[in-house]
Homo-oligomer: A and B are copies of this chain.
């Protein structure tokens, strides 16, 4: 016979209630059960499809622990609990568009922040959408080839574009591609860039109103024969290089602040494409 825990007699039937309960009860749970809770929250898909044995192995517990876990939350057994995880995936795909619109209506009448939030989300999505339409694969290939040949890749971006270049810098570092980030608070940028030559390459990112430093750096570098990959927002941008490739990225904005999603997605594509090209 089992004593009645602090669990309710009726276990949660929908995933989010269960998830909340797992989160809130985690600290009062025995070691192994807490381990299961953490795994289940982090990998709900595996719980939905796996067998007790396979899940137990990944979570590093015994299968019997899974059964105990389920019972601790008021379920009859593991299978009973697993059904909740499966239901979550069932209506996720079938009601996806429906869910989206229902959320929009929630948002509609609410507070100012709800409108903000919806606005920025929408801006992000629209930006990526327009990116898809505009960018041609050949451009990416060309840019990647150009960058892959370079000894050093200089990353030029200020203000709003700096987050993009800094992420590229981080990613290049992880991928073992030599790059130098220009535009941070140190004043040594002009000297740094004077080392750039035809055997190197540079990536410059800027949108209206173009930061003058970025323009100057890009021009300086390009005139030294260094090929440029440019991400900007207009075919008439002063940034468009004599030698190199350029991408037109139009970021939707909201309340005067541009989304960076499209630039980020393109930047990541270029970054990984370069690493791929180097590998071969």
Closest 3 CB pairs of A and B: A163-B163, A261-B261, A163-B167
Interchain CB contact under 8 A, A257 and B234: no
Q: Closest CB-CB distance, A123 to chain B, in whole Å?
A: 8
22 contacts between A and B (CB under 8 A): A23-B235, A45-B90, A45-B91, A45-B93, A89-B89, A89-B93, A99-B133, A103-B132, A110-B137, A111-B141, A117-B266, A120-B266, A120-B269, A120-B272, A128-B261, A159-B170, A160-B167, A163-B166, A255-B272, A257-B268, A260-B261, A260-B264
Give the residues in chain B near A113, CB-CB below 8 Å: 137, 140-141, 144, 269, 273, 276
Q: Mark A8-36, 1 if CB is under 8 A from B, else 0.
A: 00000000000000010010000000000
Contact residues, A81-112 vs B (CB, 8 A): 86, 89-94, 99-100, 103, 107, 109-112
Interchain CB contact under 8 A, A112 and B276: yes
- Interface: A195 (CB within 8 A): no
Question: How many A residues face the partner with a CB closer than 8 A?
Answer: 76
Partner of A260, one of B42, B144, B167, B272: B167
Partner of A166, one of B86, B166, B186: B166
Copies of the polypeptide in the assembly = 2
Q: Closest CB-CB distance, A188 to chain B, in whole Å?
A: 12
- Interface: A52 (CB within 8 A): no
- Interface: A53 (CB within 8 A): no
Interchain CB contact under 8 A, B162 and A273: no
Interchain CB contact under 8 A, B276 and A265: no
**In the complex the two chains form, what is the Cα distance from A255 to B279 in whole Å?**
15
- Interface: A4 (CB within 8 A): no
Give the residues in chain B near A184, CB-CB below 8 Å: 184-185
